[in-house]
Structure 1
Amino acid sequence: MASSYCCSRLLLQSQSSRLMLRFSPFLATPPTPSSLSFSSNCHVSSSAQATLQQQHEQQPLPQSSQLVALEYADLNLSYNLDLGHVRIRQHVNPLSSSFSVPAQVPDWNHAFADPTLPLMVDIGCGSGRFLMWLAKRTPKERNFLGLEIRERIVKRAESWAKDLALDNILFLFANATISFKQLVESYPGPLVLVSVLCPDPHFKKKHHKRRVLQKPLVGAIVDNLMPGGQVFIQSDVIEMALDMRNQFDEVKTLKHIEVLDPAMLCDSEGWLLSNPMAIRTEREIHAEHEGAKIYRRLYQKQM
């Protein structure tokens, strides 16, 4: 009876440790064997240990969609939204004439409770959960603008933001290549952070011109960024990460964060070892679940 109890206890603690490691991207170090405490009179036979090990290995790993839901669980978002029956495309051609019309500049006084707050812009914000997580934690400190080229995803993000009663976030259906400059130039407050996270890589060389980060957009980002403002880029595709890195490395007024803050550790190739945003994007979660490496850079504009 005692052996059975101890076996169950060992299995539960083993499962708990495994789930904590998989579900918490911010866990600095895994639990050490000494942290798993057992009663001194609890004896587990070798056959029982073998059975526990087999059961442990047979436990199904969580799907990446489950990890996304867990990471953003505190948003408590509703998934029963009526988006109709139109399929949401994963990839679009930003050079299409249907995306050539600039987004209308919003009434910033209507868009935000305080339009003078520092602004973060996420280019290619996807579902918007990443921005909503940040906005919920800094309601009086910063405004957030998400630009997304897939209109139906924007509509869903707008519904979520409304349900959360967030007055410091705005989602716009926009081709950032065309609309970014006029949007941020019209904003009353300072631009303090721009993120371009896991953009569509458009792998074929003839399609590289479709990539969102082109020289005009890089110039608009740097020109409008306030001194001390930052640019955060990342991708799970090394070719895409290098393309973005090369473009921002060429900007003399930008310095990579490791030069300014030695505490921001990088690997031997200059990629950040950890995510400075304290929350992963959905694509980041999916990619890491598949074993991919995330390539990150964080730049800061000099005076």
Structure 2
Amino acid sequence: MSPVQSPLSIVIATRESRLALWQAEHVQALLRARGHSVELLGMTTKGDQILDRSLSKVGGKGLFVKELEVALEEGRAHIAVHSLKDVPMELPEGFALACVMEREDPRDAFVSPRYASLEALPQGAVVGTSSLRRQVLLQALRPDLKIEPLRGNLDTRLRKLDEGQYDAIVLAAAGLKRLKMGERIRATFAPTAMLPAAGQGALGIEVRSDRQDLIDALAPLAHMPTWLTVTAERAVSRAMGGSCSMPLAAHGTLTGTTLQLDAAWGDTEGKRPLVRASASATVTTLAQADALGLAIAQQLRDGGAVGATPATAG
């Protein structure tokens, strides 16, 4: 039996958006309940500052985590709590994903003050999203819609909608539910219609890989079914060279030990049809989850999706 761990003093690096603070405070409360002393270090990242250009043009969602990683490297903070879909598929040398927590609703939400669903939108309606994944999936469902960029934190996006800049916007259901704003959701997309992003709805905790004491302290917060599922999803994205500059979706469902994994790749220019891939396998280890993700990525490439060279499992 392993010895009882001594309480630690832990500083959490977090972005200062309302959703990021909710996530950090959630982890803070769980760790405090286990006897640790936990404080927050609020930070503004480049991803928060650059609002006039799409993330795919300025470096991807890794812009939301870089400053937090610098704080970990310099010892000003010890852990960083991320929305997993914002975390690059390959972490820098010396960093590790120590824990993946139980997932909230992974689906996309349709938000509109005037229309009840995507089907109810009139022809040519303006829908806001800066996600290339959502763009290609929306175009596949409703080619007549006008998809316009939408940046900013959750409150900013909702304000732009309420000001009438868009007829509807598409957001992650998880963020709205975590901030007790579920009433803004007019409809939730079935994953079969709008396949979620890899890791959507899950929280990941990053640490320096040499901090075994922190890895041990975070272990009780981990949710292995979620971890297995998102590992398979992220493996698809990693093998395709995925980032937010790639219109790629990957979503898994674990039932017992069987993981069903679905993925889709689209062409933002609309010149190629949507490519879909699907497979299931027995998954009880992270290595098996990774292998399923790589197999799905190969299916996508075989179907005409354009990605990077195949990655090796690891």
Global fold match (TM > 0.5): no
Query: Comparing both structures, which one devotes a greater share of its residues to strand?
Result: 2
Query: Comparing both structures, which one devotes a greater share of its residues to helix?
Result: 1
Question: Rg bigger for which structure?
Answer: 1
Return the structure number with greater relative CO, CA threshold 8 A, min gap 6: 2
